[in-house]
Structures are given as structure tokens and as C-alpha cells.
A and B are shown apart, each in its own frame.
Chain A
Amino acid sequence: MRTVLGLQPPLAGKVRFEEGMTRGELGYLPQQTEIQRDFPASVWEIVLSGCQGRKGFHPFYDASDKRLARENIEKLGIAPLARRCFPELSGGQQQRVLLARALCATRRLLLLDEPVSGLDPRATAEFYELVGRLNRKDGVAVMMISHDVHLALRWSRHILHIGKTCFFGTRDAYRRSDVGRHYLSLQHGEVYE
């Protein structure tokens, strides 16, 4: 994923964007960092900073950036939190804020890096619900890294399995494939031979 984002050079080959998509149009939800845990920043400031990638050398935000940030805050149901300070929010709320920021950066493709690690089951379900809705209603494509195969199978259409053997295909094809069956049986705690 870091390669797709241009954070590190590809090991081999090349990342190609099609259909007029450019790097500046990606939305990314990174794993949270140590620094953010006590960073004095309001929700509004953080969401607005998602517009930064498009600004180039423009120093300030204009009305359309602010409108976009406001829309995304409403869309993710965090409007009551807009003036609150980021480190005071719960894990689920923080992820929504960062998702709103990612939406300010993109309309088309979201990349999520283990977005639910550290969230309790309810917050996890709510988060997937939210991302699913963005995908269905707003037509945002979603690419997610996850270690939870079952949740991944429940919410996604295509699976890219990276390990000793790799697999790419639709969810149902993954269920039928060798690597998928192996993995699923392991997750049920059975010994696979």
C-alpha cells in the first residue's frame, strides 16, 4: 500500500493510474501515530487539512475547501464534535475524523490501513457500516489492509491475499481457492492437514 501511495519506490514494476486518476486524488487512512495521541488540534482543523494536497503552493483554504470539510463532517456524523480536541475523542470517533479527512482528499479511492485495529467490536461494526455506505452511496472505491479474514470476506468484493501463496480474485473465488480454504479453516481453530 505504501507503494501505491508513492511513499516508497516499487520493488519491481510501476504504479499506473488509469481513467484520469492522479496521485493527488487518493484518500488515505493511515495507522495512527504516537504523535497524534497528545496533539492539540481540533476536529475541524484536522478534517480541513485533508484538502491540503490539492492546494499546491496556495497558502490558505478557500470557501470551497471549507464547504467540502463541512459536508464530510456531516456525512460521517461527527458534526457535534467539530470543535472538540482530537486526543479527547474515543478510538471510533478518531477514526471517523481521519476518514472525513481522507474524504476531503478524494472522491474516488480510499485506502485504509488496518482501520479497525484497537477498536472495540461495536465501533468496528459501525466503522465498516460507514465505509460500506460511502462505497454504495457515494461510489468511492475502497482498498483496505486487514488481518481479519472473516470481516474482510464479509465486507469486500475482491480479495488480494499476500503470503507464501498469493491470490487475487472475487470474494467467492477466494472462498473456493486452496489458500482461502486453508486460511479460513485455520481461523476456526481447526488443524488443517
Chain B
Amino acid sequence: MSFVEKLAYYLSFPFARNALIVGVLVALCSSLLGVTLVLKRFSFIGDGLSHVAFGGIALAAVLNLTNNLPLVLVVTTLSAVLLLRMGQNAKIKGDAAIAMISVSCLAIGYLLMNVFSTSANISGDVCSTLFGSTSILTLDKTDVWICIVLSAAVVAVFVLCYHKIFAVTFDETFARATGVNAELYNLLIAVVVAVVIVLAMNLVGSLLISALVIFPALSAMRLFRSFLAVTVCSAVLSVCCAVLGMLVSIAAGTPVGSTIVAADLAAFGLCFAAGKVKTAARG
């Protein structure tokens, strides 16, 4: 079978199509937020929150919940808000707070899974939660719809608040001084980030989420010099890399998450080189 035939064959299965839809949506949402997070020096919030989500999943597994999404969503959102609050007036500063919460949740999640788990294959479960190796191929219809609705909400919030997000990211002091409700928008960003991360867990697992959040933004920043251009470019890049990564992984049988991240890394390399050439050409 040729590569194309093989792809066509796999894509005739609903699970592969579902995976593609979810993958594209998650890549889009995470890249939109990524620009703001990277610029606000919050690159690691993705990593931290995804470990919180891992803890949430472990808890749901222990409680024997069939659908763990609501619980995970609530836990992650609460932590996101908490981290943001802490960032403003705390004795433990931003990066330390994120690192602390992140490792504690990872540890407690793994502990819970080990001590209480009913499954025979604990390390397998843990591995797939961390690297998202298979779960994206086992999505059912409900998962896909939840993902579509949440992604639509994320994109809508982002578009409607785009100018506010820009103002708050570029200069929070000025925004607050001139009457923009910066706290509200920071809170909003935190909630949306939590939603995106919970969605992305299915795709790449909790260890690789940071890649989805920061790579497209960093790549776009090598090439473009305005906020709008960077945002659009980052979204396009992220979606392309996700599609490419998933097609390759379906055809070649590689793990989905790591393949997507590898594609993102390659794209960053290309953008880095292109950025250097561009700067050199301008003198």
C-alpha cells in the first residue's frame, strides 16, 4: 500500500477522523493562548496545570468515575485561578509556585494511582496519561462534541477579548490605570488556559502540553513583529504541525503526542533559520 492509500484507509475509520478533529481544535486553542502566556512569562503554567490535571485524572480513576472530564476541569481551573492569585501578592513567586503545585500533583496523582488503582496495568495507565499515547484514538462521540463546544467557546472568548488581552499583556499597569478591569481578564485567561489544557491532555498527554502552548508562539515570534501577525501565524503553524504530526503517526504507527511535538520542534527550527535570514537581509 502506498502512503496515501494507507492514510485514506485509516481515515475511513471514525476514530481516526475524531482524532484529527480534536487535534486541530486543541492545537488552535493552545496556540492562541500561547502567545499571551509566553509574553507574560507564564510559559510553564501549561506544564504545571497539566500535572494538576494528571492528579485530577488519578483521583477520578480512584473514585471509579466513568467520565473524568468534569472533575478534572474543576480541579484544574481552581488551580489556575490559585496560581494567578499567588502571582500577584505572594511570598512564593510565580515560577516557584507553579513548580511546587506541579510536582505535588504529579506525585500525589501517581501515589493515588498506585495505592488505590484497580487496574492491572498501572504503569501503562500512567504512561498514557503522561504521554497521551493512545487516548486520542479512543475518543467517543461525546468526547468529540465536548471538545468542539469548549474549543468554540475558547476561540470566541479569545476573539471577543483580543484587544483587552493585548492591552493587559503589553502593559498591565497602564491598562489598570486607565480603567480596564485587568483582574477580570487575567482570571478569564486562567480559566481558558485550564480548559485548553484539559482538552490537550487527550492529545499529547500532560508532559508534552507545554510544547503545544509555547512552540507555535515562539516560532511565530521569530518571523513576525506585530501582535496580530504573531497570533495568526502561531495558530496556522500549530494547526499544520498537529495535522502533519497526526497523519505521520497514523501512517507510521508512532505515538501521536510525541510526533506532534517533534513536528512543532522542526517548525521552530525552520522559523528560527528563516528569522535569521530575514534579519540579515534587512541589514
Q: Do A and B come from one complex?
A: yes
Which of A's residues lie within 8 Å of B, judged by CB? 5-7, 23-24, 26-28, 30, 33, 35-36, 39-42, 45-46, 48-50, 52-55, 59-61, 84-85, 88, 98, 101-102, 105-106, 111
Q: Name A44's closest neighbour in chain B (CB-CB).
A: B226
The interface residues of chain A lying within 8 Å CB-to-CB of B227 are 39-42, 45
The answer to whether A42 and B225 touch across the interface, beta carbons within 8 angstroms, is yes
The answer to whether B176 and A7 touch across the interface, beta carbons within 8 angstroms, is yes
The answer to whether B40 and A23 touch across the interface, beta carbons within 8 angstroms, is no
- A-B pairs with beta carbons under 8 Å apart, 9 shown: A7-B173, A7-B176, A36-B170, A40-B39, A41-B170, A45-B228, A59-B159, A59-B160, A101-B174
In the assembly, what is the distance between CA of A55 and CA of B167, in Å? 12
The interface residues of chain B lying within 8 Å CB-to-CB of A98 are 174
**Binary CB contact string for chain B from 146 to 166 against chain A (1 if under 8 A, 0 otherwise):** 000000000000011111101
The answer to whether A46 and B177 touch across the interface, beta carbons within 8 angstroms, is no
Asked if B180 lies at the interface with its beta carbon under 8 angstroms from chain A, I say yes
Q: Name A65's closest neighbour in chain B (CB-CB).
A: B163
The interface residues of chain A lying within 8 Å CB-to-CB of B228 are 45
The answer to whether B163 and A49 touch across the interface, beta carbons within 8 angstroms, is yes
Asked if B178 lies at the interface with its beta carbon under 8 angstroms from chain A, I say yes
Q: Name B229's closest neighbour in chain A (CB-CB).
A: A40
The answer to whether B177 and A30 touch across the interface, beta carbons within 8 angstroms, is yes
The answer to whether A5 and B177 touch across the interface, beta carbons within 8 angstroms, is yes
The interface residues of chain B lying within 8 Å CB-to-CB of A84 are 225
CB within 8 Å for A54 and B179 given contacts A40-B225, A42-B226? yes
The answer to whether B176 and A41 touch across the interface, beta carbons within 8 angstroms, is no
- Of A30, A40, A48, A53, the residue contacting B173 (CB under 8 A) is A30
Which of B's residues lie within 8 Å of A, judged by CB? 39-41, 159-164, 166-167, 169-171, 173-180, 221, 224-230
In the assembly, what is the distance between CA of A16 and CA of B163, in Å? 30
The interface residues of chain B lying within 8 Å CB-to-CB of A50 are 174, 178
Mostly helix, strand, loop or mixed at chain B's interface? helix
The answer to whether B226 and A35 touch across the interface, beta carbons within 8 angstroms, is no
The interface residues of chain B lying within 8 Å CB-to-CB of A101 are 174
18 additional contacts (CB under 8 A) given A40-B224, A49-B167: A7-B173, A28-B177, A30-B171, A33-B173, A35-B169, A35-B170, A36-B170, A40-B226, A42-B225, A45-B166, A49-B171, A53-B180, A59-B162, A59-B163, A60-B163, A61-B163, A98-B174, A106-B178
Within the complex, the shortest CB–CB distance from B110 to chain A, in Å, comes to 35
Q: Name B41's closest neighbour in chain A (CB-CB).
A: A35
Within the complex, the shortest CB–CB distance from B36 to chain A, in Å, comes to 11
Q: Name A105's closest neighbour in chain B (CB-CB).
A: B178
The answer to whether B179 and A35 touch across the interface, beta carbons within 8 angstroms, is no
Within the complex, the shortest CB–CB distance from A69 to chain B, in Å, comes to 12
The interface residues of chain B lying within 8 Å CB-to-CB of A106 are 178
Q: Name B226's closest neighbour in chain A (CB-CB).
A: A42
| B173, B174, B180, B230 interface centre (most CB from chain A within 10 Å) | B174
The answer to whether B163 and A7 touch across the interface, beta carbons within 8 angstroms, is no
The answer to whether B164 and A46 touch across the interface, beta carbons within 8 angstroms, is no
In the assembly, what is the distance between CA of A59 and CA of B159, in Å? 8
In the assembly, what is the distance between CA of A49 and CA of B182, in Å? 13
Within the complex, the shortest CB–CB distance from B264 to chain A, in Å, comes to 19
Q: Name A35's closest neighbour in chain B (CB-CB).
A: B39
The interface residues of chain A lying within 8 Å CB-to-CB of B159 are 59
Within the complex, the shortest CB–CB distance from B182 to chain A, in Å, comes to 10
Q: Name A106's closest neighbour in chain B (CB-CB).
A: B178
Within the complex, the shortest CB–CB distance from A189 to chain B, in Å, comes to 35
The answer to whether A53 and B170 touch across the interface, beta carbons within 8 angstroms, is no
- Of B160, B164, B230, the residue contacting A52 (CB under 8 A) is B164
The answer to whether B161 and A40 touch across the interface, beta carbons within 8 angstroms, is no
The interface residues of chain A lying within 8 Å CB-to-CB of B174 are 28, 30, 50, 98, 101-102
